[in-house]
């Protein structure tokens, strides 16, 4: 880790209001490390970033924020990684706007591992959540760290899928590292810290602000060899991550879905734009040229499971369907159909959706 005295300079650079990442990098290119920036001639600083920013840089008191960050970083399993640290992830050095400082809770060494990100809707279908969990688990078993954003829906399903297989996962968050958003994921966050790590570029105490999440997304894609979009509407934030991945020269993958589902339209748009259509985990590994032994854990993805024949399931298909429509297809009385649907739900073969709809799930 960077010694406290040197680290304090990096923290000071990132805690001055109005001195954002682009300005920080301009100063680092012009003067070198933070010690040289803060000892530079004020006129030279003004020529580089303008007089108002130079004055703010030199006069803003950041002592209490720096002390709080240093205290946080001194705790077990906490790390503050700077652009000058050997622990800084090499993958982020390849993107146009690498963060100056990263706060890491958990296994900091994971930041330098080969990784893939898994993202998607905050309100997925049951099948979408199952796909996220299974694909993430198989990718982790292949030796890749799985990166996501700790959000509701696909993100959480991906993290949990990895944790269930004792794999490695990285959560990149859009708040200060000392705040967990959404609060409902505090237990999940604790488990991620145990097995993997949580990462933030934002100072301690930073709340959940909408504008910070696109910034977070560039780190999700930047840490990864590629980004897998499991399920996404056309206005989904996960499409921002996919766009950033493409701009960063990373691979973009998408799982297709029903042509009738709004949550498939974003994924289908990505495929039309050149994203790799994914049916199995091996599709991803092949595209990445990632050399790993292929066994049942990698090829036994949801699409490859044979489904036991069942009249109701055959008529249901794989799209969400109303119970009334299913009754018309099967010609079964509603009470008989309802009983069978309950049995199938208990068996984990379908899920009940709001509005009286049901959806088939791939067999376990």
Kindly give, in sequence order, each residue whose CB lies less than 8 Å from that of residue 238, ignoring residues fewer than 6 positions away: 119, 120, 121, 154, 229, 232, 266
Residues 354 and 63: their CA atoms lie apart, in Å, by: 52
Q: Using DSSP, state whether 107 is helix, strand or coil.
A: coil
Nearest to 322 by CA among 362, 363, 361, 354: 354
Residues 11 and 166: their CA atoms lie apart, in Å, by: 34
pLDDT in tens, the chain (364 residues): 455 778 999 999 999 999 999 999 999 999 999 999 999 999 999 999 999 999 999 999 999 999 999 999 999 999 999 998 999 999 999 999 999 999 999 999 999 999 999 999 999 988 899 999 999 999 999 999 999 999 999 999 999 999 999 999 999 999 999 999 999 999 999 999 999 999 999 999 999 999 999 999 999 999 999 999 999 999 888 999 999 999 999 999 999 988 888 889 999 999 999 999 999 999 999 999 987 644 444 444 444 443 344 778 888 777 778 888 888 888 888 888 888 888 888 777 888 877 778 888 865 3
Cβ of 89: how many Cβ atoms within 10 Å?
24
| Pairing status of strand 197-200 against strand 226-229 | unpaired
Residues 265 and 231: their CA atoms lie apart, in Å, by: 8
Classify residue 97 by its DSSP letter: S
Residues 241 and 251: their CA atoms lie apart, in Å, by: 11
Structural tokens at position 220: 């999700």
pTM of the model: 0.83
Kindly give, in sequence order, each residue whose CB lies less than 8 Å from that of residue 168, ignoring residues fewer than 6 positions away: 107, 110, 113, 140, 145, 146, 162, 195, 196
Q: Which domains does the chain have, with CATH numbers?
A: 1-75 (1.10.150), 108-304 (3.40.50.450), 311-360 (1.10.10.10)
Classify residue 145 by its DSSP letter: E
DSSP run (H or E) holding 84: none
DSSP run (H or E) holding 81: strand 78-82
> Edge-to-edge, what's the strand order for the sheet holding 321-322?
321-322, 357-360, 350-353
Q: Using DSSP, state whether 236 is helix, strand or coil.
A: coil
């Amino acid at each position: 880790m960077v010694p406290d005295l040197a680290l304090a300079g990096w923290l000071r650079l990132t805690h001055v209001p109005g001195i954002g990442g682009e300005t920080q990098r301009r100063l680092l290119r012009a003067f070198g490390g933070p010690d040289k920036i803060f000892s530079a001639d004020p006129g030279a600083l003004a020529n580089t970033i303008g007089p108002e920013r130079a004055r703010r840089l030199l006069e803003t008191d950041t002592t209490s924020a720096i002390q709080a960050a240093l205290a946080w970083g001194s705790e077990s399993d906490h790390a503050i990684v700077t652009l000058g640290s050997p622990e800084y992830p090499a993958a982020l050095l390849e993107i146009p706007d690498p963060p100056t400082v990263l706060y890491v809770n958990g296994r900091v060494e994971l930041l330098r591992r080969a990784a893939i990100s898994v993202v998607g809707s905050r309100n997925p279908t049951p099948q979408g959540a199952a796909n996220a969990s299974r694909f993430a688990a198989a990718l982790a078993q292949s030796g890749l760290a799985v990166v996501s954003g700790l959000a509701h829906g696909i993100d959480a399903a991906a993290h949990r899928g990895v944790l269930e297989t004792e794999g490695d996962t990285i959560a990149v968050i859009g708040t200060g590292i000392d705040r967990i958003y959404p609060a409902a994921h505090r237990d999940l966050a604790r488990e991620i810290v145990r097995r993997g790590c949580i990462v933030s570029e934002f100072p301690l105490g930073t709340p959940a602000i909408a504008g910070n999440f696109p910034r977070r997304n560039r780190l999700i894609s930047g840490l990864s060899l590629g980004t897998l979009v499991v399920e996404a509407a056309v206005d989904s934030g996960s499409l921002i991550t996919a766009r950033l991945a493409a701009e960063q020269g990373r691979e973009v993958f998408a799982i297709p879905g029903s042509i009738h589902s709004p949550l498939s339209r974003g994924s289908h748009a990505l495929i039309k734009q050149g994203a790799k259509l994914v049916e199995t985990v091996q599709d991803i590994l092949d595209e990445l040229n990632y050399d790993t032994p292929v066994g049942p854990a990698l090829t036994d993805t949801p699409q490859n499971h044979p489904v036991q024949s069942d009249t109701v399931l055959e008529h249901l298909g794989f799209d969400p369907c109303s119970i009334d429509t299913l009754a018309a297809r099967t010609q079964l009385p509603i009470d008989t159909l309802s009983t069978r649907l309950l049995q199938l739900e208990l068996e984990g073969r379908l899920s009940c959706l709001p509005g009286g709809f049901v959806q088939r799930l791939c067999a376990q």
